[in-house]
Amino acid sequence: MQQHDIAHHLATPLMNPAYPPVVPRFTDREYLNIVYRTDRDALRAVVPEPLEIDEPLVRFEVMRMGDVTGYGPYTEAGQAIPVRYEGERGEYLHAMYLDNFPATASGREASAYPKVTGSPALYVDHGALVGVLDYGTVRVATATMGYKHHELDPEEAAAQITVPTFMLKLVPGFDGTAQVAQLVRTEISDVVVKGAWSGPARLQLFEHVLAPLADLPVREIVSAAHILTDLTLAPVRPVHDYLAR
């Protein structure tokens, strides 16, 4: 392969890249969102400056992707933290766990999503919507919500999932020092809310050294939502460079 051909390739391995060259469209993306109150000091320990915290809240999410262009169906779980950046309210993506390697690799390499492998699931069990996350063979999260107890306004549902999202893009050099260290911003676009519901909910987080969701402990359940959508993820753009100083 000639040198000028290399730059036209997206990822390695060259002949079968880890992820496809597509802008994915998510069809029938199903959310279980539980917003809970946690300890302010715990949030301060993990939310990077210059992001600011108002209330000590966390959104635990489990998402079942019905179909995704280039990736197919998969499931994802994680934690997002409400923050402000230069007066704009949004969420900081703290951690995400997936059961699909191409989606994990592209999220990290082509974007800045804090994705690692895990085994999440979302299903209905005896009148409850259940979201779980296992890391290896160990259960680290169990969320339950009353199944479709109350209709949720579609505009309110769309507002929950379309807030600006902030993430860290960290790329080390070969000597271990930071080559890229940026705070980036993205958001969801082209949203079609197909159904949305609220209801009572519970959330249990279990301690695990490699999946430390419980480091942001559950003190009070604030709200819960079950949302079915179609959507597209916008490209990320840097908003703060940690190496500029």
Q: What is the pLDDT of residues 118-172, one digit of tens each?
A: 999 999 999 999 999 999 999 999 999 999 999 999 999 999 999 999 999 999 9
Residues noted as catalytic: 115
Question: CA 15 to CA 146: how far, in whole Å?
Answer: 47
User: What digits encode the pLDDT tens for the residues 26-61?
Assistant: 999 999 999 999 999 999 999 999 999 999 999 999
pLDDT on residue 151: 98
pLDDT value for 7: 86
Distance between CA 7 and CA 141 in Å, rounded? 41
Q: Which amino acid is at 179?
A: Q
The reported pLDDT for the residue numbered 9 is 86
pLDDT class of 221 with cuts at 50, 70, 90: very high
Q: pLDDT digit string (tens) for 56-99?
A: 999 999 999 999 999 999 999 999 999 999 999 999 999 999 99
Q: Label the pairing between strands 237-241 and 201-205.
A: unpaired
Note the pLDDT of residue 2.
Answer: 86
245 pLDDT above the threshold of 80: no
pLDDT at site 230 = 98
Name the H helices within the chain.
Answer: 3-6, 40-44, 101-109, 154-161
User: Residue 54 — φ and ψ, nearest 5°?
Assistant: -100, -90
